[in-house]
Amino acid sequence: MATIDVAIPTMTGEEMVALTKKHTLFEWSAQAKVDPIPVARAKGIYFWTPEGKRYIDFNSQLMSVNIGHGDPRVVEAIARQAAVLAYANPFMATEPRARLGAKLASITPGDIDTFFFTNGGAEANENAVKIARQFTGRHKILARYRSYHGGTAGSMTLTGDPRRWACEPGIPGVIRVFDPYHGIERGWDTTQQALQTIEEVIQLEGPQTIAAFILETVTGSNGVLVPPDGYMQGVREICTKHGILMIADEVMAGFGRTGKWFAIEHWNVVPDLICMAKGLTSSYLPLGAVGMRHHIAQHFQDQVFYGGLTYNSHPMSCAAALATIGVYEEDHLIERAQEMGKLLKTLLADLAAKHPSVGAVRSIGLLGIVELIRNRSTKEPLAPFNGTSAEMAALAKFFREQGLYTFVRWNTFFTNPPLIITESEMREAFAILDRGLEITDRAVL
Ligand SMILES: Cc1ncc(COP(=O)(O)O)c(C=O)c1O
């Protein structure tokens, strides 16, 4: 049989979709309902179907291709590493692994200086839990309801959102607390109320039984929830007081997405453990990591670290991460996300002012969301919790027809472009959002 170069597609979009659906499973979906976009190539903030239909990638795929598609610096670094040493097992030392650990130590907060590499975010969180349990000798883990921490068994249990339900009962020992946000109808707790609730749960559970509190620094897929001022500092204080390790899940919020290397820096807090993936390689290759503070790493000098993965510290992924971090630095993408984040905020505010179906907009850096409502006085969401509606489906269809790809979930849609987006590209995307909202405006009572 002749070799097939899948990098040069020979299939039509229709053939790709049909064969993909016949032999592979799509995530979080009943298979008959999925309607994937066939993708052949991507560059910058755009991707294309085999037939040449162009999409603006307004979600950076899965909030992860932060440096944009097809950056030759990363592609070449991967190719070079593949040619020299594609793989070495995790008991060995390699140059990309050595350099990446050192580089991450220089950009992560405080005295976080040691990293365990994984295949992605879920495994980073799994290993953070293991490290916290082994370090503290305690077993309970606090987590929040409006959260997503990944699709593996432990990370599914940490996850608070409905994706967890089908995976229950999950791992033992996970305790959940409320978030400061209670949905668009009820709104936000004050920082003080939110912290008091956490304290109360800790008292009732027994602080001496709790190893860690895991939380997304800015909650991602559950609504771009930016914590109120003082919340993160308060969580840090509570954790310190009780000897509970604070685990910052920065899988989505890290690597410039919020206008800082890591979102936790907005509140000057140093977590004990920090989990990352997505933007670490901008998804050019799979890689996650859990970073730990110096004294936690010291614990594992004489204690065995019980954890391992065949692809831990994969040389090609580490090389991709180093090149990606180089791109953030060389092109000043963290600063750029801050700057373009101001434009995103203004454009979101314009949508909110103009469209009655916009109930709330939230953003930080280039992580943004629009929440849609059908009633301006009750703020009833345009789709129910964990559900959809004809109007949300029509909006998603419109975006797709118009060549704008983004995440449409429940009563929300996301605005998370690659950090390289220009002002004119941003305005081009917002012109489509603006026209789409005419559909949802018609549903407002
Ligand atoms: C905040 C957060 N944590 C963890 C994960 C899981 O990462 P992965 O899918 O790479 O396992 C995600 C993925 O979307 C995420 O958004």
pLDDT of residue 312: 98
For residues 161 and 222, is the Cβ–Cβ distance under 8 A? yes
**In the predicted model, is pLDDT for residue 271 greater than 90?**
yes
Q: Is the pLDDT of residue 108 over 90?
A: yes
Task: With a cut of 80, say whether residue 113 has pLDDT above it.
Answer: yes
Span 305-342, pLDDT tens digits: 999 999 999 999 999 999 999 999 999 999 999 999 99
Mean pLDDT within 134-156: 98
Tell me 98's DSSP state.
H
**Residue 272: which of 250, 298, 244, 251 has the closest Cα?**
244
For the segment 8-22, what is each residue's pLDDT rounded down to a tens digit? 779 999 999 999 999
Q: What is the mean pLDDT of residues 250-259?
A: 98
Q: What is the pLDDT of residues 280-289, one digit of tens each?
A: 999 999 999 9
Lining residues, ligand 1, CB within 6 Å: 62, 120-122, 125, 148-150, 216, 220-221, 249, 251-252, 277, 288
**Res 3 pLDDT > 60:** no
Say which residues have a Cβ less than 8 Å from residue 42's Cβ, sequence separation at least 6.
Answer: 48, 57, 65, 69, 70
pLDDT exceeds cutoff 80 at 75: yes
* Mean pLDDT on 78-93: 98
CA of 224 relative to ligand 1 center, distance in Å: 14
- Residue 121 CA, ligand 1 centroid: distance in Å: 5
Mean pLDDT rounded to a whole number for the chain = 97
Residue located via tokens 């953070």: 128
CA–centroid distance, 214 to ligand 1, in Å, is: 13
pLDDT of residue 1: 46
**Residue found under tokens 């799509």:** 26
Of 286, 281, 232, 234, the C-alpha closest to 255 is 281
Q: How confident is the model at residue 352 (pLDDT cuts 50, 70, 90)?
A: very high
Consecutive H or E run containing 392? helix 390-401
Minimum-distance ligand 1 atom for the alpha carbon of 253: 1
From 157, 278, 285, 309, the mutation candidate for ligand 1 (largest count of ligand atoms within 8 A of CB) is: 278
Handedness of CA 7, 10, 13, 15 (dihedral sign): negative
Centre a 10 Å sphere on the Cβ of residue 106 and count the other Cβ atoms it contains: 8
Q: What is the pLDDT of residue 5?
A: 64
pLDDT on residue 336: 98
Give the DSSP H/E element, type plus range, for residue 142: strand 140-144
Which tokens in the block code for residue 90? 């995790």
pLDDT at 445: 87
Query: Residue 4 — pLDDT band, cuts 50, 70, 90?
Result: low
pLDDT band at 147 (very low <50, low <70, confident <90, very high): very high
For 346, residues 6+ apart whose C-beta sits below 8 A from its C-beta are none
Tokens of 96: 């990309």
Closest of 261, 263, 254, 265 to residue 287, by C-alpha: 254
Alpha carbon nearest to ligand 1 atom 4, residue: 149
